[in-house]
Amino acid sequence: MSSTNMRPVAFITRDAHLALLDLKRLVDSTAERIRAAELQSVGAALGSPRTDDPLRTLRGAADTLRFSDFEAAVSQARAKTEYAVSCSCTATRE
């Protein structure tokens, strides 16, 4: 397998990595919102008067997972990763 054959694969793999990073950002953001809702719930359970509405925060996190952006990010990461794998298999045979 020559390095010439692997150059395009390296770019395609990088593209798959970037798509996965976009998905990770969405997941991390949602996880942070759920964590905030958790902390707000604990504060409310302990009777803290300065607690934001945990249900509203939790709904916002759930909405993020329902948005078409999230589905698109999952699909794009999957498609680009599968494409990178197929290109890698082709390049290794040459």
Q: How far is CA 59 from the centre of its chain?
A: 18
- Predicted confidence at residue 78, as pLDDT, reads 96
In this prediction, what percent of the chain has a pLDDT beyond 90?
Answer: 54
Closest CA to 9 of 1, 72, 64: 1
| Ranges 18-27, 38-47, 59-68, most confident | 18-27
Contact 26, 64 (CB under 8 A): yes
- Predicted confidence at residue 4, as pLDDT, reads 65
pTM for the full predicted model: 0.77
pLDDT (average), residues 67-88: 90
- Quick one: pLDDT band at residue 5, thresholds 50, 70, 90? low
